[in-house]
């Protein structure tokens, strides 16, 4: 957390090495996923997937309908909305984070009206899951989160 998702390379290796390993591994998994009818979603997270550019480098290198993106709204600590916009056309799932009561590790102020507009513009048709990372009691925070999402995404195909 102190490094904001920036992971050091293994000694003697580069980001290019890491991307090659990830791409090679996913290419080995994808035939099995395709046979099972399962779409894999690569999430924007720490390390190589910390930025939309990193996630897209993998997804576009493989160019398979069985590898898409899991867009996590709470994992972009810089340039949040432009990065979401870059991933939205490739997204199969959106993990929408809320932080009622303050976050466990950090708190982001996410404008879900803007997120909905980004997803609408990208013609997103997947699922949106709630990932509640706040400290508030889930019995109150989850209903608040769902109400927030229903209002933001009302009347859209999202």
Quote the distance between the C-alpha of residue 157 and its chain's center.
19
Complete domains list, the chain, with CATH: 15-153 (3.20.20.150)
Residue 105: per-residue pLDDT = 87
For residue range 64-77, list pLDDT tens digits in order.
999 999 999 999 99
pLDDT averaged over every residue in the chain: 94
- State how far the Cα of 10 lies from the Cα of 15, in Å rounded to an integer: 9
Share of the chain above pLDDT 70, in %: 97
Average pLDDT over residues 130-157: 92
CA distances for 26 relative to 12, 45, 49, 78, 95, angstroms: 23, 16, 14, 27, 21
- 47-70 pLDDT, tens per residue? 999 999 999 999 999 999 999 999
Q: CA 55 to CA 6: how far, in whole Å?
A: 14
């Amino acid at each position: 957390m102190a490094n904001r998702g920036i992971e050091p390379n293994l000694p003697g290796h580069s980001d290019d090495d890491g991307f090659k390993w990830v791409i090679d591994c996913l290419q080995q998994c994808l035939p099995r996923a395709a046979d099972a009818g399962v779409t894999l979603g690569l999430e924007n997270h720490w390390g190589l997937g910390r930025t939309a550019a990193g996630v897209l480098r993998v997804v576009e290198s493989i160019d398979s309908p069985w590898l898409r993106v899991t867009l996590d709204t709470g994992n972009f600590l810089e340039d949040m909305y432009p990065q979401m916009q870059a991933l939205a056309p490739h997204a199969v799932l959106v993990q929408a984070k809320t932080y009622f009561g303050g976050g466990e590790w950090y708190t982001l102020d996410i404008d879900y009206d803007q997120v909905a507009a980004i997803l609408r513009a990208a013609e997103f048709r997947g699922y949106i899951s709630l990932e509640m990372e706040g400290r508030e009691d889930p019995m109150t925070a989850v209903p608040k989160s769902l109400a927030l999402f229903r209002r933001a995404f009302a009347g859209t195909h999202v």
